[in-house]
Amino acid sequence: MQDHHTHDHHTHAMTLSERADELEEQMMHELNEKIATKSVLFGLADGKVELENGMSLLAKNPGKYFLMGADPRLPPMPEKPTLIDFFKLRFASMNHLLQSATHALKAGHDEKTVLACLLHDIGVVSFIRCDHGYWGAQMIEPYVDEEVSWAIRMHQALRFFPDEAAGYKYPDAYVKYFGPDYKPEPYIVAEYERARKHKWYGTARLICINDIYSFDPDAKVDLDAFVDIIGRNFKQPKEGLGWDNTPASHMWRTMMWPTRFL
């Protein structure tokens, strides 16, 4: 402190009360600043199996506590967030979802199918890529018709299997993504075989048919076009997503506050 004092001319020029104000402000700032922690999953994605010890993190950040609420670096969520709020504040991209849903709407499909197309990849755009169909289905299960979540779960497997009669061929994009020799995992093959015999197979297949990357580069797609369909087909909980005590609530909370310590 003495050293700092003698070398800092700016400090010299300040009055005692100015310095006290500055110190207080600095302290307040540090008290507000919490330690944001990363879940193991974030490290796994960088090829590391690791978790920083809580006590050593505290020692490195004297006087600070762990973040247990909203991460100030992320857009703040409203108190009772809706699906639309998540679209706008937590989904990294919605263009693909809007394009799929627009395609389904123009093809004259029913609202359940349009909603399924609109939500089919929410796992990817907001949460976790791996097994995105399963995560996505689970996130919305309490709020949609069972057929919608079932179809979203199954589209992941069905995407790998052509159905010429339905007008669906193996995606060119998948050849580019995974190479020409890629074979889906056995559990995906088994899931496809089960889905094939299911009464809602057609709905899951319709997601695949409308699962396109760009149907018209000039088409204007807007979430506003789907607000009414969401309103009629997605049972928005009055407490807000995350606060409604369903088997999906913790997933929405995790998206809201992904860096909470516990």
Residues that bind Fe ion (CB under 5 A): 121, 211
Give least dist CB 42 to Fe ion, A: 22
Give least dist CB 238 to Fe ion, A: 30
Measured in residues, the chain has a length of: 262
**Cβ proximity to Fe ion, 111 vs 121, nearer residue:** 121
Give least dist CB 213 to Fe ion, A: 8
CA distance 160 to 174: 8
Give least dist CB 212 to Fe ion, A: 8
**Cβ proximity to Fe ion, 98 vs 255, nearer residue:** 98
Q: What distance lies between CA 86 and its chain's CA centroid?
A: 8
Give least dist CB 53 to Fe ion, A: 37
Query: Is the distance from CB of 226 to CB of 118 less than 8 angstroms?
Result: yes
Give least dist CB 159 to Fe ion, A: 6
- Write out the chain in H/E/C secondary structure: CHHHHHHCHHHHHCCHHHHHHHHHHHHHHHHHCCECCCCHHHHHCCCCCCCCCHHHHHHHCCCCCECCCCCCCCCCCCCCCCHHHHHHHCCCCCHHHHHHHHHHHHCCCCHHHHHHHHHCCHHHHHCCCCCHHHHHHHHHHHHCCHHHHHHHHHHHHHCCCCEHHHCECCCHHHHHHHCCCCCCCHHHHHHHHHHHCCCCHHHHHHHHHHCCCCCCCCCCCCHHHHHHHHHHHCCCCCCCCCCCCCCCHHHHHHHHCCCCCC
**Cβ proximity to Fe ion, 123 vs 242, nearer residue:** 123
**Cβ proximity to Fe ion, 123 vs 237, nearer residue:** 123
Give least dist CB 38 to Fe ion, A: 26
101 burial via Cβ count (<10 Å: 0-12, 13-18, 19+): buried
**Cβ proximity to Fe ion, 63 vs 217, nearer residue:** 217
